[in-house]
Amino acid sequence: MFRYAIVRPPGENFADGLTTAGLGRPSLDLARAQHEASCAALEACGLELIRLPLDFRHPDSTFVEDIAVLTSHSAVFTRPGAASRIGEVDGVRETVRRFYSVVHEIQAPGTLDGGDVCETESHFFIGISDRTNKEGARQLAEFLAADGFTSSSVDIRTSSILHLKSGIAYLGHNTMVAMEELSDREHFAEYELIRVAEHESYACNCVLVNDRVLLPSGFPLVQAELCRRGYVPLMLDMSEFQKMDGGLSCLSLRF
């Protein structure tokens, strides 16, 4: 059960962030409204929000999930794979240290984005991507092992997604949402898979928060399948964040 979520609203320069989506320039006003709706959804799931101030130096700073990996035992500050985002780590240090007495940090030449880390209870999948390299994954695996967790790496560098959690999500009860492109990977063979067709693959970035599943709106097949399996989706418009290669999980650090 999550108790807290760290969030940061998009700043004035949000539209200047990194993106390969090709979906046009986002509306700042709409992005802020969508961000506030996601915050309200987290509160509706019983979480207390820790709201960070605007960070005008870093356009991508609203995507706080990439900056740290928070487990039940310790916190790991990442070293983002995009040079323009490395400075974002300093903006969460003090807040995270208020809650964690054991803190680690990824060191160069390792790189790691939190969006490449998918926790499935006691096991973690670590994506090897354009943002997370093998050395960053190795360092994280060592930190996790020291806390009694297991992990394995999933190479997604030849896939169509930026981060591992763009294509998979763990929903508890040994059940995982997976985009069709990743669903046949041997890493996920022991999970009950909800396979998502290519045209709805953005919905794979959904988030189980206590007894609800936060889900991007506009993907009726995934929504219907979750309902059929007994999940309770909470639908959220993510259009402006999708334009910036972002998803629902990116907008908060939950612990």
Burial class of 56 by CB neighbour count within 10 A (0 to 12, 13 to 18, 19+): exposed
Burial class of 49 by CB neighbour count within 10 A (0 to 12, 13 to 18, 19+): middle
How does pLDDT run across 11-66, given as a tens digit for each residue?
999 999 999 999 999 999 999 999 999 999 999 999 999 999 999 999 999 999 99
CA dihedral of residues 243, 62, 147, 152 (deg, nearest 10): 10
CATH code, 72: 3.75.10.10
How does pLDDT run across 75-97, given as a tens digit for each residue?
999 999 999 999 999 999 999 99
Q: What does the pLDDT read at residue 3?
A: 98
Model's pTM, two decimal places? 0.97
How does pLDDT run across 235-245, given as a tens digit for each residue?
999 999 999 99
How does pLDDT run across 142-183, given as a tens digit for each residue?
999 999 999 999 999 999 999 999 999 999 999 999 999 999
Percent of the chain with pLDDT over 90: 100
Q: Which domain holds residue 188?
A: 4-254
Mean pLDDT over residues 106-118, rounded?
98
Percent of the chain with pLDDT over 70: 100
pLDDT band at 209 (very low <50, low <70, confident <90, very high): very high
227 in catalytic set: no
Q: What does the pLDDT read at residue 192?
A: 98
* Total structural domains within the chain: 1
Identified catalytic residue from 163, 199, 206, 227:
163
Per the listing, tokens 């059960």 go with 1
Do 98 and 124 touch, CB atoms closer than 8 A? no
Q: What does the pLDDT read at residue 205?
A: 98
Give the count of beta carbons closer than 10 Å to the beta carbon of residue 14: 25
Mean pLDDT value across the chain: 98
CA dihedral of residues 85, 123, 136, 54 (deg, nearest 10): 10
73 in catalytic set: no
Per the listing, tokens 């929903």 go with 171
